[in-house]
Each structure stands twice: as C-alpha cells, then as structure tokens.
Structure 1
Amino acid sequence: MSADPDTPDSTNRSATSPQAGPSQTSPSQTNPSATFDSASASALFERVLVVTADDDAGRAAVDAGLDVAAAHGATVDALYVVDTREHWDMAVERSERTGETLVEDAAARGEARGVDVEKRFRYGTAHDEVLDFAATHDADLIVVGSARRTGLDRLVHPETLPVRVQRGASAPVLVVGADD
C-alpha cells in the first residue's frame, strides 16, 4: 500500500501539530491566559490611596500600600487628614506637624522601594475626606490601618474610620492591622 502525501497519516506528524513537543511551542500557545493574567495584574492598580496615621496600624497601612504599588507599578497618594472638629488652634497645628512628618516618611519609604508617592493633606472629618479624595482622584485601592480596640473604646467609638470608609467607598478597601 502506497502512502498518498495528501492523506493524513498518524505516523507522519508535523512540528505544528497539537502533539508537538514543548520546545516547539511558546508559553502563550500552551496557556493563552498566561500573558493575559500577567498583563492584567500589572495594570490592576494605578493609584493607591494610603491613609496615614500616627500609630502602628497607620505605619502598617503605608507598608502594605507601598508593597501593592510596587507590585503593580502604581502611584501612591499618602493622605493625612487633619481633624478640624477640634477648633483649638494648638491641636490643629500639632496635627499638621504630625501629618507632615507621616507623609514625608511615606514618601521616603516609597522612594527607597522605587514607588512614586504624592503627599496629600486634607482638612475635615477623616472618613468624609478619604471618600471624597478617593472619588476625586480615581483611586483604584484604598489602604487604611485599623488598631485593635477593646473595652470602652468600642463603646465610645462604635464606627471606626475603616468601617466608614468601607461602607462608602466605590473602590476596594484594604484594612491592615498593626501585626499584619
């Protein structure tokens, strides 16, 4: 029996057949979603809003926000909100100095990791200002710290900043604890 060159033969496989070895196919041919996943992951977050605070949870939030931004090539907005419910000038001035130190520290830590950090200040009620800033600047992720609360503090302040931000935000919110 003679073999016809136009008839498929199971013993005559070409390099382009599905049974070709892995050295003859590219990774995108073996898993078409491999390139899509890596491309979409790098562009998942472009702007990360990090709410700074003068406690361990606030510093942990900055670290987490910088890690996410570094992984995705995003820009970080380090935001400190000066609480203006206190009408006492000395308290507001002290809060401004603290905020300046915190956003400067976030910028320095970002520079060390190769992340662009923009220093931001707002005046008002923290959750309102965070939500307004996130909406105005198209934040893709909001990172906020949350300290463990016990006893009387839970009764006096039933809704914390992270809870209020989570409730009102249109972007995802990452809540970071001091020991996370």
Structure 2
Amino acid sequence: MYDTILVPTDGSPESLTAVDEAADLASALDADLVALYVVDTRDYATLPETKWVTLAEELEQAGERALAKVEKRADEHDVPVSTTVVRGVPHESILEYADEAGADAIVMSTHGRTGIDRFLLGSVTERVIRSADLPIVVVGAGED
C-alpha cells in the first residue's frame, strides 16, 4: 500500500505534529519515512547576488536544525528517517522530491511557520494538494 511516506517540514511546531502522524503511519505500515526541508529560493531572489551564498548557507543550516528535530521525533516513535535539504520553491520541490523518493503519500501540516490563521490552509499545503497525484494526509495543528 504505502512503502514510502514523505513528510515536509519547516521546523515549526505545526510541522512537527505532522511528523508525529507520519511516524505513526510509517510504523503501522512498516513504511520508510523520508523528511524534506526546502530552502525557499524566493527568500533571497531579490537580494544582490553577493548575499545569496551567505543567506543560502544560513537557510540550509536552519533546514538541518529542522531536520534534526524530525529525527528526534521519529526516534521517539522508533522509526528510522532519512532527511534531505533541497533548494527551490517549496510546493514544487516537495512534489519533485516525492517523485524522486518514490513516495506513496505525503503527510504535512495545515500550515507552518508562515500560517496567518489557524482556520486557513497554508499556501504550500494547498498548492501541494492541488498539484499532487498521490495521497496527501493533512494534519491539523491542534489547539493553540
């Protein structure tokens, strides 16, 4: 059924809720769990090129920290996880990586660190849902 489950993260508490669900699902289905952090290239596209490298490195380090949190959560569920940082536009990169990793499902939160309203679906999540050709499990952030 599901052999590989992808869980994108931005390091937010909301995305870690999705990690918990993805780890539970991977454990129940004996599936591989893969986690992805996307360095949003739009974050530095308007900066002078001389600043790109520094900011890109800082954002990649933030991604590594976010993925370390994912590894810790997955370990708490006794589920191994492989992690990857990529650069790109988040919704596009998530779908591209899902294809590359052979993901059978994506588990993600309703919104992450840029969520402005807990009742609205996050723009990245919404774009993934609209474009995906595989099942998407959307996890609510819970009560504040």
TM-score, length-scaled by structure 1? 0.66
Partner secondary structure for residue 122 of structure 1: strand
- 1:65 matched to 2:15? The reply is no
Give the aligned residue type for 1:71: A
Q: How does 1:25-40 map to 2 (within 5 A)?
A: none
CA RMSD of aligned residues (A): 2.1
Residue in 1 aligned with 2:3? Answer: 46
- In the aligned structure 2, how far is the partner of 1:122 from the partner of 1:68? 24
Aligned residue for 1:149?
116
- What is the alpha-carbon distance in structure 1 between the residues aligned to residue 122 and residue 12 of structure 2? 18
In the alignment of these two chains, the number of paired residues is 131
Aligned to 2:48: none
Distance 1:111 1:66 in 2: 9
The 3-state SS of whatever aligns with 2:5 is strand
Residue in structure 2 matching 1:172, options 113, 123, 135: 135
Q: Distance in 2 between matches of 1:159 and 1:58?
A: 11
1:68–1:162 CA distance, 2 compared to 1 (3 A): same
Q: Distance in 2 between matches of 1:93 and 1:171?
A: 32
TM-fit CA distance, 1:91: 3.4
Give 3-state SS (helix, strand or coil) of 1:80's partner: strand
- Report the secondary structure of 1:105's partner residue: helix
Q: Which structure's relative contact order is higher, taking Cα pairs within 8 Å and 6+ residues apart?
A: 2
* Structure 1 CA distance for aligned equivalents of residues 66 and 116 of structure 2: 22
1:114 corresponds in structure 2 to: 78
- Superposed displacement of residue 54, structure 1: 2.3
Q: State the TM-score, normalized to the length of structure 2.
A: 0.81
Q: Residue 159 of structure 1: CA displacement? A: 7.1
Q: Counterparts of 1:82 and 1:179 in 2: how far apart (Å)?
A: 26
Report how far residue 160 of structure 1 moved.
0.4
Q: Using a 3 Å threshold, how does the CA distance of structure 1 residues 126 and 107 change in structure 2: closer, same or farther?
A: same
**Where do 5+ consecutive residues of structure 1 fail to align?**
1-43
What are structure 2's unaligned runs of at least 5 residues? 46-50
Once the two structures are aligned, what percentage of the paired residues are identical? 32
Q: Please give the alpha-carbon distance, in whole angstroms, between the structure 2 residues aligned to 1:52 and 1:127.
A: 12
Give 1 or 2: higher strand fraction.
2
